[in-house]
Amino acid sequence: MYRVLVFLLAVLCLTVVIQIVAVTAWRDYEKHGSVSLSRAVEDALPKAANESAAGGGQDVPGANPAAGELPGHGPEALKTELFYLVNVERVLARVPPLSSGSDPSVQLHASSMMTYGYRSHWDVNGFTPHMRYSMSGGTNRVRQNIAGPIDLSDYTEGNRPLNWRDLAESVHKGLMESRISRANILDRWHGKVTIGVSCSHSQCWIVQQFESALLRFSAVPVFSNGRLTIEGALNPGLVLEGLAVWHHPYPRPLSLGQLDATYHYDYGQRPVALLRPPLPEGRYYPERAATYNWAAGIDPYTLDFRLPRSSSPPLPVEVERSAAIPWATAIRWEQSGESFYLSADLSHVLPEVGPGVYTLQVWGRQGEERVALTNYTIFVT
C-alpha cells in the first residue's frame, strides 16, 4: 500500500512539472519565436528568492514623484512576466490558461494612475472598469486587479539594470495574497486577461483585467422607448437564468481625494429592477418585489469633491445592504439551444430613476453552478 501511495504521489508531481514546463515552453515560443526545451526547463525550475524584492508589492498611494512615462522594453517585459505567472498559477489550480486580451481601456487606466499618481479602480472621469470595458466594445463580464505605486528602487542593485522578473514575481505574490485578487486570477470562467503597465522613472502602476467569453450579443443591448432588448448566444451548456438592472448617476470628474478613498467598485449604487420570464396565459406571479442583498463599498460620488488626499490606503469598508427591488416580467424570454432573446418593458423604471448608467447583470446556470455572464453598461441621457 505504501509503495502505491508513493507511486501516485510521484505521478502527481511529474504531472504538475510537465504542465509548468508546457506553459513555460509556450511563453518561450512567444518570446523567441521557437521552443527550447532547455530554456523551458530552466525557467520552470524554482529560482532563488531575490532579497531586493522583499519590499515590493502594493505600496501606499501617493503623489506621482516623476513626470513622464518610462520608455523602453521594461513595461512590456513586466506584462509578459505577469501574464506567464497568472497562467502558471491557473495550471497549478487545474483551471484553463488565459489568452491575452486587447481592451485598450486597461492600458489607458494604468497610464491615468501613473499620470495623476492615484490608485483606484475608478478613474478621474468617474468611470468604473465595466463602464470603460463596455465603451471599448466589450460585451462580457470583467473583473479587475490593480497594484501600485511600486517603488522601482527596490528592484535595482548598484549599477545593475532593473530586475523586471523579480518585480513581476513580487507583484504577483501580493495579488495572490489578496482574497479578491486571487479569486479573479483563478476564476475558471475567465477566458482572457488584458494587462496594463505604466511606469515613471521611479514607480509603476499595474492593471489586470479578467474577461469571460460566455456570451455573444447579436445586437448591442439598448433601451428603446423604455423597452430593453437583449439578443445573442451563450456558450454550449449554459442556460439563461436571471437579470438585474443596476443604476449609477451619470459619470462626472472625481478628485484625487475622492479616488484615494475608494476600495472597490460595484455594478451601481443599487439595483432598480429584477427581470423574470413570463408565465403561461392565465397564471400570475404573486410577488411584486423581491428582497435583494448586496455588499456596497465606498461610493466616491457620496464624498466631498474637496476631500484632501490620503497618505494611507483606503479602508476595506463593505456595508451589507438590503432593499425590496421591483420585479419586471419580461415580454419575451426565449432560449433555443445557444440562442436567446429577451425583451422587457421598463418604461415605468427609467422616468422614476432618471438618466445615468444602467448596468445589466446577467447570469446563467450550468448544471448546479450559477455563472455570471455580463456586466454590460448602457448610458442613458
CB 84 within 8 A of CB 20: no
**Looking at the 3D structure of the chain, how many domains does it have?**
3
Helix/strand/coil for 250: coil
For 305-362, the three-class secondary structure string (H helix, E strand, C coil) is: CCCCCCCCCCCCCCEEEEEEEEEEECCEEEEECCEEEEEEECCCCHHHHCCEEEEEEE
Give me the tens of pLDDT residue by residue for the chain, a chain 381 residues long.
545 444 444 544 455 445 555 555 555 544 544 444 444 444 444 333 333 333 333 333 334 544 355 444 789 999 999 999 999 999 999 999 999 999 999 999 999 999 999 999 999 999 999 999 999 999 999 999 999 999 998 888 767 778 889 999 999 999 999 999 999 999 999 999 999 999 998 899 999 999 999 999 999 999 999 999 999 999 999 999 999 999 999 999 999 999 999 878 889 999 999 999 999 988 999 999 999 999 888 889 999 999 999 888 787 778 899 999 999 999 999 999 999 999 999 999 999 999 999 999 999 999 999 999 999 999 998
Does 112 share its domain with 4? no
Domain co-membership, 15 together with 146 = no
Distance between CA 297 and CA 262 in Å, rounded?
Answer: 8
Query: How confident is the model at residue 319, as a pLDDT?
Result: 86
Same domain assignment for residues 149 and 92 = yes
Domain that holds residue 21: 1-41
Given 162, 193, 212, the domain boundary residue is: 212
Residues 346 and 371 in one domain: yes
C-alpha cell at 215: 456570451
- Integer Cα distance of 214 and 62 in angstroms: 38
Q: Which of 176, 193, 212 is the last residue of a domain?
A: 212
CA angle 177, 183, 184 (to 5 degrees): 110
**Based on the domain organization, do 344 and 366 belong to the same domain?**
yes
Residue 293 lies in a domain: yes
On the 0-12 / 13-18 / 19+ scale of CB atoms within 10 A, 337 is: exposed
Which pLDDT score, from 0 to 100, does residue 169 have? 95
Residue 311 and residue 278 in contact, taking contact as beta carbons nearer than 8 Å:
no
Per-residue DSSP letter, 185 = H
Buried b (16+ CB within 10 A) or exposed e, 86-115: bbbbbbeeebebbeebebebbbbbbbbbbb
Residue 147 belongs to a domain with what CATH number? Answer: 3.40.33.10
Q: Rg of the Cα trace of the chain?
A: 23
Cell reading at 141: 463580464
Task: Give a yes or no: residue 147 inside a domain.
Answer: yes
Q: Are 252 and 325 contained in the same domain?
A: yes
Asked, for residue 226, whether it belongs to a domain, the answer is yes
CB 364 within 8 A of CB 238: yes
Burial of residue 279 (number of CB atoms within 10 Å: 0-12, 13-18, 19+): exposed
Strand order in the sheet with 227-234: 215-224, 227-234, 339-345, 332-336
Q: What is the DSSP string of 99-132?
A: EE---HHHHHHHHHHHHHT---SS-TTS--HHHH
pLDDT at 315: 76
* Residue 179 phi, psi dihedral angles, 5° rounding: -60, -45
Residues 6+ apart with CB under 8 A from 172: 82, 85, 86, 89
For residue 257, what are the contacts with CB-CB under 8 A and spacing of at least 6? 303, 304, 305, 306, 307, 308, 309, 310
Q: Are residues 236 and 327 in the same domain?
A: yes
Domain final residue, candidates 212, 237, 257: 212
Residue 241 included in any domain: yes
Residue position matching grid coordinates 396565459: 281
Question: Is the same domain home to 5 and 124?
Answer: no
Q: Which class for 197: exposed (0-12), middle (13-18), buried (19 or more C-beta within 10 A)?
A: buried
Same domain, 14 and 129: no
Those residues whose C-beta lies under 8 Å from the C-beta of residue 219, and which sit 6 or more positions away, are 229, 231, 232
Same domain, 75 and 223: no
Q: How far apart are CA 21 and CA 87, in angstroms?
A: 12
Q: Is the pTM of this model over 0.85?
A: no
**98, part of any domain:** yes
List the grid coordinates of 360: 445589466
Judged by DSSP in three states, 367 sits in coil
